[in-house]
């Protein structure tokens, strides 16, 4: 997906103090569901419930060194008819502190048609540093480094860890600043119920959450992300809280990601 390289965004440049959304970010410590066994998860993507659009897998392990960290590796691609329209491949790696569930680094490499992009994010105590390299065939690579001053940013994996760790009681709201590429977004998730959910022929007891997404502008104001109109997430209602299904109404139709494989690695 084409991205515009953003200039440096700094919270301290806001002359009237931090914007309101910064104070709304959830800062609770990790909850009782912070632990997770090493696992490998497989998902399929579908468009309008008719077209198989892609697949991806995520493996999460603990490092074997002195520091306690979760390491997540993911890879995926568009498939079938969708690949004819939009050939896309990605690989990603995230390193997350096991105790605080704070991200340390996030790396993403993606390729679509004749363009490739690499994103490297370093999460420091009070800021995130993004380095983006984009390259088209037969053209010179372009590299840009941007910074965002905020002390509780998340990457994609750490945000999932943090969300699942919380109590997730009926009506509970969790708000996070998440950076999937080189620009931060604010995700607000509200627990809307518990229900039985059938996915790929298997029934699960699930926790349902509705999500809204806001895009952080260069002046730190928050704008509703028009490309995503409605998002719903289901996670397993057990001690592991595995993401089961994601549904999103976006500008080009309805897309969904559903769990197809779950393998405990130990």
Give CA–CA dist 109/133, Å, rounded.
9
Please choose, from the candidates 147, 36, 41, the residue with its C-alpha nearest in 3D space to the C-alpha of residue 101. Answer: 36
Distance of CA 49 to the CA centre of its chain: 22
Q: What does the pLDDT look like over 120-137, one tens digit per residue? A: 999 999 999 999 999 998
pTM: 0.89
Give CA–CA dist 198/206, Å, rounded.
9
Give CA–CA dist 220/199, Å, rounded.
39
Average pLDDT over the chain, rounded to whole?
Answer: 90
Q: Dmax over Cα atoms in the chain, in whole Å?
A: 55
Q: What does the pLDDT look like over 192-251, one tens digit per residue? A: 999 999 998 899 999 999 999 999 998 999 988 777 778 999 999 999 999 999 999 877
Structural domains present in the chain: 22-264 (2.40.360)
C-beta of residue 208 within 8 angstroms of C-beta of residue 194: yes
Structure tokens at 252: 């080009």
């Amino acid at each position: 997906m084409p991205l515009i390289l953003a200039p440096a965004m700094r919270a301290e440049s806001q002359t009237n103090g931090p914007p309101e959304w910064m104070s709304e970010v959830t800062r609770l410590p990790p909850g009782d569901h912070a632990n997770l066994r090493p696992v490998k998860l497989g998902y399929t993507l579908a468009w309008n419930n008719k077209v198989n659009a892609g697949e991806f897998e995520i493996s999460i392990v603990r490092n074997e060194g002195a520091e306690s960290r979760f390491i997540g590796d993911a890879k995926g691609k568009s498939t079938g008819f969708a690949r004819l329209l939009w050939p896309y491949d990605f690989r990603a790696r995230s390193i997350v502190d096991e105790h605080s569930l704070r991200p340390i680094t996030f790396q993403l490499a993606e390729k679509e048609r004749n363009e490739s992009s690499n994103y490297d994010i370093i999460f420091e105590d009070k800021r995130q540093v993004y380095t983006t390299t984009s390259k088209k065939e037969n053209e010179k690579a372009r590299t840009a480094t941007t910074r965002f001053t905020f002390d509780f940013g998340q990457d994609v994996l750490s945000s999932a860890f943090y969300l699942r760790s919380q109590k997730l009681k009926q009506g509970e709201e969790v708000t996070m600043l998440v950076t999937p590429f080189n620009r931060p977004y604010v995700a607000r998730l509200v627990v809307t119920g518990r229900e039985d959910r059938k996915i790929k022929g298997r029934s699960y007891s699930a926790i349902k959450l509705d999500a809204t997404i806001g895009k952080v502008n260069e002046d730190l104001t928050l704008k509703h992300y028009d490309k995503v109109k409605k998002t719903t997430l289901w996670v397993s209602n057990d001690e592991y809280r595995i993401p089961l299904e994601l549904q999103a109404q976006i500008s080009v139709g309805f897309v969904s990601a559903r769990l197809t494989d779950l393998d405990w690695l130990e």
